[in-house]
Chain A
Amino acid sequence: MIYNFLLKITGSSIAASFIQSLLPLFLFILPFALFAVLAERKVSAHMQDRLGPMRVGYHGILQTIADILKLLQKEDIVPHDTDKSFFNLAPIIVFVGSYAVFAAIPFSGAFIGANLNLGLFYIIAVSGFVVVGILMAGWSSNNKYSLLGAMRSAAQIISYEIPTILVVVTIIMITGTLNLYTLSEMQTSSFWNWIIFGGPVWGISKFLFIPLMILDFLIIYISTLAEVNRTPFDIPEAESELVAGYHTEYSGMKFAIFFLSEYANMFAVSAIIAAIFFGGFQSPFGYLGNTLGLPWLIPIEQFFWFTAKGLFFVFVQIWLRWTLPRLRVDQLMAVCWKYLIPFAVVDLFLVGLITVL
């Protein structure tokens, strides 16, 4: 819909698709990242029996704007013996890796940045960019601590991509499509059709799927938590061990870019999990627009549901960060290779069996 609208305005299909892919970036992700920083501080504060930022704006709402203004005016310190091109390029690559994912995520029934038939495949491939960016940041900082942090982070992200991919393969077996838009469309009309409850199929296979799907959901939630470097997997940014890991030497706007891309990444993985398992932009019980007879209301409602589910998972990520301590590096790897991957493989086999029979 929005594509046609843009086509009418600009008259060129290239310009229209270009603007359409950029829209989620500016209209949604940047304000979201600003909001997420504030949400993390307020949520963690209330969980810790204190108030959080209270002075800037009403109850601290404008705090992030103040933070961004501050970061913009900071001096850009570059350490002495670094590889300057790598040093400057690293935050940009991490930024690209995190934001490019949003092109393939369906925000509502009427809007998807780029309707790729290979949606999930594209997402997993592009989020691998982040590893390159982190390694560049760690190496070019000319600092033993940063290098250690970057290597750990790279090992962690690469290992945890495997359970993610296994779960995605399981989903393909059930639904037969990689396109996130079609996946979300399939889970219509009520929450019982969501894939976590077995998907929109009838019969006994649906009930057999439910425990397997719940297990899959847990596996992918934990492995994406590790991919985003959040506690309990935040060894690369562990403040008390390596000062700040791979972004120790960054200051000012470059640090802000690392920071914002972490929050965007968090939302991206939450949105993907919501799209795969929880029905994407579908509402659990019918649309207000339908009952009121206002068809133009439906995409707005769908957008609302999508955002609500994404935000809920982001909230759970914040909650986990402030509750659990941190895993040590070898334990982190053990969790991935000794626990998540075997479970994911077994799940894959069982789902395959059930689909065939």
Chain B
Amino acid sequence: MSLKTEELVLNMGPQHPSTHGVLRLELTLEGEIIKEVKTHIGYLHRCFEKHAEVMTYPQVIPYVDRIDYLSSMGNEFGYVITVEKLLGIEVPERVHFIRVIMAELQRIASHLVALGTYGVDIGAFTPFLFCFRDREKILSLFEMTCGARLLYNYMWVGGLSHDLHPNFVTQTKEFVKYFRPKVVELNDLLTNNQIFIDRTVNVGILPPETAINYGVSGPNLRASGVKWDIRKIEPYAVYDRFDFEIPVGKGKIGTVGDCWDRYDIRILEMEQSLRIIEQALEQLPDGDVSSAIPRRIRPPVGHAYGRVENSRGEVGYFIISNGTANPFRVKVRAPSFINLGILNELCKGHLVADIVAIIGSIDIVLGEVDR
């Protein structure tokens, strides 16, 4: 007589404290070991691509913000440079520099949310509050510039909606000086904590060939050892004038491409963003930010694909124009949607408690997954 064992199907339903939004996972478990993870998405589908077809090009920008609501500047950046590519217009230098500063500040803010919530998933509640305290300072910088803390409508086709506030440069320099030691503090609290290391090292290992095959981009791809950053591969705006490095996962503790590497990459990227912001503030030229904004936007018939490196990966916009004032088709290549596809591969053979660690390390935003 042998013992009959059955597989348990457990539902981590759409409402769950640590799936970072409305995501439904169907786990097939054998005891505590995972055999398969089926992902069900679409709970936050807001039909962005259909909306974009009935609006004019500038009207799409607030909608673009709301795709990835935690790093809106990056989304706007991508859309705006794609339309400018289609139109073939050049923007003033000052606009480029300001866009870079905003994008890098947004990258730091988004990574702070990712790291803080990852700590909460693992069980450490305090770094979350420290991260949000620092993020508040960034959000006040944004509020000073364009009036909004989270969804900006700041980057317009051909320029920006507002020029910088007179105190912006001084306050940003203060922020950079304030934030550098905070990164060290965060490292002490979480990154080098032995319990955190036990939870994340050798968990969810992503080999580089699998990552490229699945189309993964952003910190997840770099943590697996592939040096792929759009800011260096295909420099847009004025990124080729700055001196910064691309941190790549080396498997300092554990294997290359595990959760700890993905976490560490984000911390190193925050430091590099600080470097870029400093250099951009030094080199900021004068100029008029709205001189190149066209009156009417009617691109010629054709299509363009423009991309930027956002906090979660490569955001690409594929815009097809048919000569009218409304885009014919806007397809968003959303990094979180694509990164989420590797979940089944990563989770095989791990325990249920590791799922939470793995999802947190991929850093998804459901708004981007579902659009």
Which residues does A use to contact B, with CB under 8 Å? 44, 47-50, 144, 148, 231-232, 234-235, 238-241, 243, 322-331
Closest to A331 in B: B198
| Contacting pair B352 A241 (CB below 8 A) | yes
In the bound complex, how far is the Cα of B190 from the Cα of A323, in angstroms? Answer: 9
| Contacting pair A48 B130 (CB below 8 A) | yes
In the bound complex, how far is the Cα of B353 from the Cα of A148, in angstroms? Answer: 12
Instruction: List the A side residues contacting B354 at CB < 8 Å.
Output: 328
Q: List 16 A-B contacts (CB under 8 A).
A: A48-B126, A49-B129, A50-B129, A232-B195, A234-B123, A235-B353, A240-B18, A240-B121, A240-B123, A324-B123, A325-B119, A325-B123, A325-B193, A325-B199, A328-B198, A328-B353
| Contacting pair B351 A329 (CB below 8 A) | yes
| Contacting pair B123 A238 (CB below 8 A) | yes
Instruction: List the B side residues contacting A231 at CB < 8 Å.
Output: 123
Q: Write the nearest CB–CB distance from B130 to chain A, whole angstroms.
A: 7
Of B129, B196, B356, the contact of A241 (CB 8 Å cutoff): B356
Q: Write the nearest CB–CB distance from B5 to chain A, whole angstroms.
A: 16
| Contacting pair A325 B351 (CB below 8 A) | no
Choose among A49, A234, A326 the residue with the greatest number of B CB atoms under 10 Å from its CB. Answer: A326
Of A49, A238, A243, A324, the contact of B130 (CB 8 Å cutoff): A49
* Chain B 106-146 interface 0/1 with A at a Cβ cutoff of 8 Å (1 = within): 00000000000001111111100110010000000000000
Instruction: List the B side residues contacting A47 at CB < 8 Å.
Output: 126
B90 lies within 8 A of chain A by Cβ: no
Which residues does B use to contact A, with CB under 8 Å? 8, 10, 16-18, 32, 119-126, 129-130, 133, 189-190, 193, 195-196, 198-199, 351-354, 356
In the bound complex, how far is the Cα of B128 from the Cα of A323, in angstroms? Answer: 11
Instruction: List the A side residues contacting B125 at CB < 8 Å.
Output: 44, 48, 322
| Contacting pair A322 B120 (CB below 8 A) | no
In the bound complex, how far is the Cα of B354 from the Cα of A238, in angstroms? Answer: 13
In the bound complex, how far is the Cα of B124 from the Cα of A240, in angstroms? Answer: 11
Closest to B11 in A: A144
Instruction: List the A side residues contacting B123 at CB < 8 Å.
Output: 231-232, 234, 238, 240, 324-326
Q: Write the nearest CB–CB distance from B237 to chain A, whole angstroms.
A: 35
Q: Write the nearest CB–CB distance from B264 to chain A, whole angstroms.
A: 15
Instruction: Check A325/B195 contact, CB under 8 A, given A48-B129, A234-B123, A240-B121.
Output: yes
Instruction: List the A side residues contacting B193 at CB < 8 Å.
Output: 324-325
Q: Write the nearest CB–CB distance from A79 to chain B, whole angstroms.
A: 16
Instruction: List the B side residues contacting A144 at CB < 8 Å.
Output: 8, 10
Q: Write the nearest CB–CB distance from B259 to chain A, whole angstroms.
A: 12
| Contacting pair B18 A325 (CB below 8 A) | no
| Contacting pair A325 B16 (CB below 8 A) | no
Q: Write the nearest CB–CB distance from A248 to chain B, whole angstroms.
A: 12
Question: Contacts A48-B126, A325-B119 given; 9 further ones with Cβ under 8 A?
Answer: A240-B121, A324-B195, A325-B190, A325-B195, A325-B196, A326-B123, A326-B124, A327-B195, A327-B199
